[in-house]
Amino acid sequence: MFKKVLVANRGEIAVRIIRACREMGITAVAVYSDADRRALHVRLADEAVNIGPAQASESYLSVERVLQAAAATGAEAIHPGYGFLSENADFARAVQQAGLVFIGPTPEAIEAMGDKGRARTRMEAAGVPVAPGYQGLDDPAALEAAAAKISLPLLIKAAAGGGGKGMRVVHQLSELVEAAAAARREAQHAFGDGRLILERYIPHARHIEFQVLADQHGNLVHLFERECSVQRRHQKIIEETPSPYLTEALRAKMGEAAVAAARSVGYTNAGTVEFIVDSQSGDFYFLEMNTRLQVEHPVTEWTVGIDLVQWQIRIAAGEPLPFKQDNLSQRGHAIECRLYAEDPANNFLPATGPLLTFAVPSGPGVRMDSGFTSGDQITIHYDPLIAKVTAWGENRPAAIQRMTAALRETVLLGITHNGQFLQDVLSDPQFIAGGVYTTWVEEHFNGWQPPQCGLPPEVLVAAALAQLQPPSAAADEHDPYSPWRMPNGYRVGQ
């Protein structure tokens, strides 16, 4: 097992990995930008190295600076988390060339699944269902001819990436050329590659993904599904498992397809195979494979009872999986809500500013993953995710009730956030009935406004004044075990 692991990320996922390392007796090294000098992941790590300015391109996305930090601290392996360099095959290759272990799949597997066009071709060869589509010349005449064969409506996607970038839905043939041009520009800007894919668009589709885990000894299993259909701007905000839509027969069929997809690229470590499911027919189609740990991995951990981050590390160290597919089952139901610094009443516009007060929920079956504490700043430089709240219950109604209570317990003062919006989604009859789909939020919550019952101004003033009080001199102690240096320690006067 590794003695020292460098975490090449920030925020809640860096905190999550550092805690996993601590439980395993592994020294954890954090990296941080100038903007994150006092961040929670820096305070939690055993060692921390500054790798550059606030701009991600000069810090968290700098392969050279991350590797320099690993060399300077004597780290044996690097965990990339999600985002940033996690699905960068060149980074994974550079880590290996530096004599270190990349805690993730091989560079070849990342490359094979990173290009959506080539991944489609590979999935077809592996017998994994793919939606009717087209990839080839993207001049107007070729696109129009392909669109006529696929049938409308259709989806334009970037071949080189995902996350909703370079994506457009076309309902009429007259919209195709202009929509393709806009998607091409966006894809070129986001990924440096303007190639496009056309696919049949499935109205009222459900987004269901399967977690896979594979060791270096040929063992490959899936850890069941996650329903990710509650989205805004093509990005997930609520995930749950088991899916309220799947039957046992469809679950087994999709699980087999996920395993076949991963095996076709010789996959190792943790990954996720994503599918689009036609809610009317039950037909499902390969969407993409994320060759990394997912944001929503906690719901799988709740129901399967496996620590995915620890197993990522163990697999990278060469350990075999101690279980087979037949040994795995789910218990209960788990839901995750992503708490963002954003304004749902204003097209989910990201917000910045101080977290004057951040009080997290607790109790049985509740988990909070966050990279922030009271007094921290949400800046313009990074994703506005504040925290992930997850709740477990014996069944779906119990999980919904527990999640709703957890969100009500969460106190966030000083910044606009989507907490009330999430509560309203959870209480909607259609969500409770399990009848959601990927465009459900934009169709049913368009024009959403929060209730007019804001906090009295004096509460915000008191919270702000509390953060302005000078810290005790003890805060400058060099003792790493001082409670002033621990995020859960007492802090008199703060």
Active site residues: 292
* CA–CA distances in Å: residue 160 to residues 184, 207, 213, 293, 450: 11, 20, 24, 19, 38
Cβ atoms of residues 412 and 177 within 8 Å: no
Cβ atoms of residues 188 and 194 within 8 Å: yes
Instruction: Mention every residue, 6+ apart, whose C-beta is less than 8 A from residue 208.
Output: 225, 226, 227, 228, 229, 243, 245, 246, 254, 274, 275, 277, 284
Q: Is the dihedral of CA 119, 121, 125, 128 positive or negative?
A: positive
Cβ atoms of residues 33 and 54 within 8 Å: yes
Bond preceding residue 487 cis, omega within 30 of 0: no
Amino acid letter for position 311: W
Q: Listing from the earlier edge strand, what are the strands of the sheet with 333-340?
A: 284-290, 269-278, 205-214, 220-232, 235-241, 333-340, 385-393, 366-370
Q: Which two tokens stand for residue 186?
A: 């966006």
Any idea which residue has 């589709």 for tokens? 205
